[in-house]
Amino acid sequence: MKKQEEKEKNKKLEEELEKKKLIEQEKINSEKKSKQFEEFRKKMEEEEKNRKTTQNSIDLSEIKNNLLSIPDIINEELPPELDLEEKTVNPVGPNTEMYKPNFLLGQKILIVMTYYSYSEPEINIYHLDDVKQAVKHFGISIVSVNNYKDAINELTKNQQGKCLYYACWLINDCTIKNNMKEFLDVLYKFWKNGGAVLLFSDNTPFIIETNQFLKMINSGFIMEGNYDGGNDIFGDNTGELNTTGVFNRNKNIYKYNNIQRQALSHNLYVIYEGITISSATKDNKRKLDVKNDDIYPFIPFARDSEGGITSLIKLANDKGEGDLILDGGFTKLFINMEKNGTFRYIQNLAGFMARPEVHISNNINPKDYRPSLVEK
């Protein structure tokens, strides 16, 4: 009897000790978070102080174009958090999105996907509910089509001399189908007229449309490969991406005629890289150098955990072209949306490609901007 009582007493003591350890660990984590937030706050205050100090020497138009002059649409970035295992966690909750709710109300994205997977029925045009939910925050709606003919019709619809859509996301097929060339010609014109284009490829052979489009713009590389992936990658504030498993958190790359745009990495410190990934390849070389012309005229956004550049950005320019973004892992749209940072990444893509800072600087409400009409 005494042994049983002693055993129960020891068990109770062990439970209390474990509880104290958890409380102490939570206290340590809380202190770390507070310290991180305080450092982040001081950094923001210093940047604001520097901005105000130099404000008198800045042209009024430059003041208007600064991100700080449009607080009614943007949300400030927060520092990363740590979980109980001290792993990096992205900020979540109200006001952590890139922009305020519904500021793009009425804008539309056209998603084109001609491929249908019979072996993986969840990977098809009819399973984009999570994507729709991600962009809904900004007031954006999605129209999806499963053939090039319908895609051509949508991109050439006339709305008072403008296109119906501000962006088109193309999910690659593995075979050439009817009207593909005609569609890519229309997509190219849409992009040249100011439309934003996102080309989602995956493992070879799901690279056809992306590589045809890259050929049309005389790119020196293609997307190909089949890396298993499945790991998290982490933010690189330098933007140099000199190591594997990193993505670009350098905000300075997102400038348009001295207008600072929000970063695609907004409130992202860790992202799931996806699976069955293709990457930028030149002369059969997969691990390309970002410091030479290997990926020109693109900026690297992400290197997978094996070193391949899987996501790239060509920013809109003063020639009238829209943003052009490549991503080598389209499966994330269907089966990986719950993975680390994926939902926020997709949401950020939709907001970023709307270029609100640029349009506001041109006295255009971002929800009203449309590319010029594309003629068939």
Q: What is the pLDDT of residues 139-176, one digit of tens each?
A: 999 999 999 999 999 999 999 999 999 999 999 999 99
**Judgement on whether residues 21 and 156 belong to the same structural domain of the protein:** no
**Judgement on whether residues 36 and 122 belong to the same structural domain of the protein:** no
Would you say residue 164 lies in a domain?
yes
Would you say residue 79 lies in a domain?
no
Last residue of a domain, one of 16, 34, 57: 57
Global pTM? 0.82
Q: Which residues have CB under 8 Å from 336's CB, separation 6+?
A: 272, 274, 275, 342
Would you say residue 45 lies in a domain?
yes
The beta-strand segments (E) located in the chain are 81-82, 88-89, 108-113, 141-145, 167-171, 196-200, 222-229, 232-236, 246-248, 255-256, 259-260, 270-272, 275-281, 299-303, 309-314, 324-327
pLDDT of the residue at 343: 97
Contact status, residue 333 vs residue 43, Cβ threshold 8 Å: no
The long-range contacts involving 121-126, CB below 8 angstroms and separated by at least 24 positions, are: 122/334, 122/335, 123/331, 123/334, 123/335, 124/334, 125/171
296 phi/psi in degrees, rounded to 5: -60, 135
How many domains does the chain contain in total?
Answer: 2
Read off the pLDDT band of 303 (50, 70, 90).
very high
Would you say residue 95 lies in a domain?
no
Q: What is the CATH number of the domain that holds 254?
A: 3.40.50.880
Among 175, 159, 154, 166, CA closest to 112: 154
Would you say residue 291 lies in a domain?
yes
Would you say residue 271 lies in a domain?
yes
Domain span holding position 217: 108-361
Q: What is the pLDDT of residues 42-72, one digit of tens each?
A: 554 554 444 444 333 333 333 334 433 566 8
